[in-house]
Structure 1
Amino acid sequence: MALDSNDRSIAGFTMAGHSLVHWFETSIPIFLVVWLSEFDVSVALLGFIVALGYAPFGIGALPGGILADKYGPKRLVLLCLTGMSLSFLLLALANGIYLVAAGLVCWGAAASVYHPAGLSLISTGVEERGTVFAWHGIAGNVGIALGPFVAATLLIFFPWQLVAALLAIPGLLAVAYGLSAEFDPTGAIEEMDADQANNRALSVSDLLTNSRTLFASAFAVVFVIVTFEGLFYRGMLTYLPEILQGLPALEGFVVGPDLEGIEPSRYIYVGFLVVGIVGQYAGGKLTDRMAPGRGLLGMFGVLAVLALAFIPVTGSGLVPLVVLCGLLGFFLFAIQPFYQDAVAVHTPANTRGLSYGYTYLGEFGLGSASIAIGGFLLDSFSLATFFGTLAAFALIGAALSAGLLVVIDRFDSPRTADAGTDADD
């Protein structure tokens, strides 16, 4: 069925927002390589600073959802786009590590409200939710791939401060587009429900009651699984560009002047993210064919093997390295639809927004701890220790997924009709 004008308008607005959140997010690891050279700081310290920026991205998801309920999702998305763009302009002015830290923290706080606000807007305003959620996810993956590609390419020609400013321009253009966009944010629900949606902010007691209900159910296990997935995801995504840069397999390959940020490793990293688009699509298809616990168990097992495989492959040639990065990109993103489906299956519909708020708290908030952990490991121990730690995160996730599969998936709530319609990213 074709999208009506309201659906198309909301789809365009949220796709722009989703792509730009990840456009900014995945460009930061490219800058990390430059900052290590620009500022006289250790990997551990810079990792801690980057973690300070990524932590609010997840921690703010829960209050972001509450604010979206109170002030409306469109307003929150516009504030998100404005805040992220201004944060990168602040980075462009940074002449020291403290201003870099300030810019990253401001970016994380602004970006945190997008997912609960964007999902809320789609769920209440769009008739063809499944179609729009699909395009919304594709837009996010395009941003994931384009952010580091554009950043790496611009760094061939310009200093990093100017590149940060240039990356802010699409965000400002999206704000202008969003201000002119017209749509009904409650167009997909009944008039009575729409009235409630316009005045649906939870009281503190309601929030606490619903949270206790969630964490007394299977969702508590899902939340911990998502947290360990986030630890693996954030650690790998943050440090892979820096790790690839120093590998013997890439010595002798030159794509431009001898400037920071233009090594071939940057483009292998971009290829790794592009393959992730295919992985997420494949994972989404598989969620219709198997229980989420089974899918999570298999995906975590593969990720553990791939992390351990990096240890011997880092000393091998270019072809094995590229193949391994491609496989890792595929499975790192293929796992995401499974935990999103697990949230939908194991939570009641009337707490779904709160459930996804907690989900992104685990994924992007608690998961960002691996940035500080990874920086410490890379600074003080061997590369093998770093990848071994990531493999341990995946193995713990696999063990928890086995419990979800054997115990909870067998005896807990069955899949509901709308289980697969609320996923994102």
Structure 2
Amino acid sequence: MKDHSLAVRLLLNIGHAIDHMFLLIFAASVGVIAQDFGIANWEDLMPYGAGAFLLFGIGSIPAGRLGDLWGRRQMMVVFFIGMGVSALIVAAVPNAWAMGAALALMGAFASIYHPVGVPMLVQSAAKPGAVIGINGLAGNLGVALAAMLTGFLVKWLGWRAAFAVPACLSLICGVLFLRFCPHEIASPAKRKSAVSVKLPANMLARVLLVVTTAAVAGSILFNFTTNGNSQLMIERFKGVIDDPATLGVLLAAIYVIASLTQVVVGRLVDRFPVKPIFLGIVLCQIPFVAFAAQAQGWWMFVAMLGVMVFTFGAVPFTDVLIVRYVDDRVRSRVAGIRLAVSLGISSAAVWLLGPVVKQMGFSALFTIMTVVAVLTALVVLMLPSEPKAQNA
């Protein structure tokens, strides 16, 4: 199968950045939005964003099914246009309940990318680990943009512009994708395909169980950190740096540096067995998360850099394992089911973030995250030890 053109690959990677960026604009601007809506504490507004992450998860099942059976090109066009339109709706809402509904709509469109865009990107890749690593870098640069760009847009133009300006970018990308991505000859489900390593059914089931369980834990850490870091930095840097825009730049720097880990991980898994690398990354999360529970000021910067390096570094493994062991004809559907479970459950992290911090503080939150990291390491130990896949 011929690989995608440079323009299509670029747009698919930009799509990953858009996916993560849009979902975190609310978290990056929640304090200002709460004031605008007359809500005293940002923690009380944060649960209204949980619907976006719930639909981000459960929407992956129909998105993956449509991607395999209808076509990935068509679904990516729906993704770009839908994200742009829903972000414009969020920018226009008058109150918290309307905000929650509009964010949920955005989450439904956001659910398309991972089960459709990632399989589309790697379906003909000779080195899928490297491709997934670069794609992960793009996605996490979107996280960084959410922290940095939102801070400046809120400061200069208000929180509504923080949604409206990126919305225009997504709509432009949708038009460009229509222009540069050729029509598919057949949907993925109707194409002849193969996987690089075939496993017995019981072993494949074990791999998918471990992948899904580890993805749930990883998504909980990802949601707690990326949705809470903006307010965490404000609290822990109080008296050191008090300008939200400057703190947004610092947080963006953490995300950019941490994102490079995914490129390294992607190249490593193309050359070496997955299990020891995955386990090593997860084990490294534990001391940094525990340190972040108490760190203040610039030590908090060091702690969060470590947390995000190893949180982001763990992200590519689930996609790598699915690409390695699951046939492309059903890959979007398998990814959709995995995402629905992991993201659906982890959406509770977004809903609980505000109440947990309000009642117990960030220190208790990071203690909970330390326990999650330990449990994740135990789950990864169950992953079968397999030699490196030889890609076809």
Query: Shorter-chain TM-score: what band?
Result: 0.7 to 0.9
Q: 2:377 aligns with which of 386, 398, 407?
A: 398
- State the match for 1:52 in structure 2: 51
Q: Are 2:338 and 1:338 aligned?
A: no
Which amino acid in 2 is paired with 1:239?
Answer: G
Taking the aligned partners of 1:349 and 1:72, their CA distance within structure 2 comes to 12
For residues 370 and 182 of structure 1, do their structure 2 counterparts lie closer, same or farther at Cα, with a shift above 3 Å needed?
Answer: closer
For residues 284 and 124 of structure 1, do their structure 2 counterparts lie closer, same or farther at Cα, with a shift above 3 Å needed?
Answer: closer
Taking the aligned partners of 1:381 and 1:9, their CA distance within structure 2 comes to 48
Which amino acid in 2 is paired with 1:298?
Answer: G
Asked whether the 8 Å contact 2:293–2:362 carries over to 1, the reply is: yes
Q: 1:12 aligns with which of 10, 19, 24?
A: 10
Asked whether the 8 Å contact 1:44–1:372 carries over to 2, the reply is: no
Between 1 and 2, higher relative CO (CA 8 Å, sep ≥ 6) is seen in 2
Asked whether the 8 Å contact 1:297–1:398 carries over to 2, the reply is: yes
- State the match for 1:270 in structure 2: 252
Which amino acid in 1 is paired with 2:18?
Answer: L
Q: Are 2:92 and 1:93 aligned?
A: yes
Taking the aligned partners of 1:123 and 1:233, their CA distance within structure 2 comes to 23
Asked whether the 8 Å contact 2:92–2:160 carries over to 1, the reply is: yes
For residues 293 and 308 of structure 1, do their structure 2 counterparts lie closer, same or farther at Cα, with a shift above 3 Å needed?
Answer: same
Asked whether the 8 Å contact 1:56–1:365 carries over to 2, the reply is: yes
Taking the aligned partners of 1:98 and 1:142, their CA distance within structure 2 comes to 30
- State the match for 1:74 in structure 2: 73
SS in 2 for 1:253: coil
- State the match for 1:416 in structure 2: 389
Taking the aligned partners of 2:131 and 2:5, their CA distance within structure 1 comes to 8
Asked whether the 8 Å contact 1:151–1:167 carries over to 2, the reply is: no
List alignment gaps of at least 5 residues for structure 1.
187-193, 201-211, 256-261, 420-425
- State the match for 1:204 in structure 2: none
SS in 1 for 2:382: helix
For residues 415 and 130 of structure 1, do their structure 2 counterparts lie closer, same or farther at Cα, with a shift above 3 Å needed?
Answer: closer
Asked whether the 8 Å contact 2:221–2:369 carries over to 1, the reply is: yes
Q: 1:25: how far off?
A: 2.4
TM-score w.r.t. length of structure 2: 0.87
Q: 1:302: how far off?
A: 2.0
- State the match for 2:234 in structure 1: 245
Q: 1:380: how far off?
A: 1.4
Taking the aligned partners of 2:131 and 2:274, their CA distance within structure 1 comes to 22
For residues 347 and 266 of structure 1, do their structure 2 counterparts lie closer, same or farther at Cα, with a shift above 3 Å needed?
Answer: same
Q: Are 2:164 and 1:165 aligned?
A: yes
Taking the aligned partners of 2:70 and 2:330, their CA distance within structure 1 comes to 19
Asked whether the 8 Å contact 1:295–1:338 carries over to 2, the reply is: no
Instruction: Please give the residue correspondences for 1:360-399 in structure 2 after superposition, counting only pairs within 5 Å.
Output: 360-399=339-378
Q: Are 2:274 and 1:292 aligned?
A: yes
Taking the aligned partners of 1:83 and 1:221, their CA distance within structure 2 comes to 32
User: Once the two structures are aligned, what percentage of the paired residues are identical?
Assistant: 20
Q: Are 2:283 and 1:301 aligned?
A: yes
SS in 2 for 1:217: helix
Taking the aligned partners of 1:88 and 1:392, their CA distance within structure 2 comes to 35
What's the CA shift string for 1:113-154, capped at 9, x where partnerless? 112221343345678867755554443233232232111111
For residues 7 and 135 of structure 1, do their structure 2 counterparts lie closer, same or farther at Cα, with a shift above 3 Å needed?
Answer: farther
Asked whether the 8 Å contact 1:232–1:390 carries over to 2, the reply is: yes
Residues matched between the structures, number: 382
TM-score w.r.t. length of structure 1: 0.80
Q: Are 2:22 and 1:24 aligned?
A: yes
- State the match for 1:104 in structure 2: 103
Q: State which structure, 1 or 2, has the greater radius of gyration over its C-alpha atoms.
A: 1
Instruction: Please give the residue correspondences for 1:116-127 in structure 2 after superposition, counting only pairs within 5 Å.
Output: 116-124=115-123
Q: 1:224 aligns with which of 206, 213, 216?
A: 213
Quote the RMSD (CA, aligned, Å): 2.9
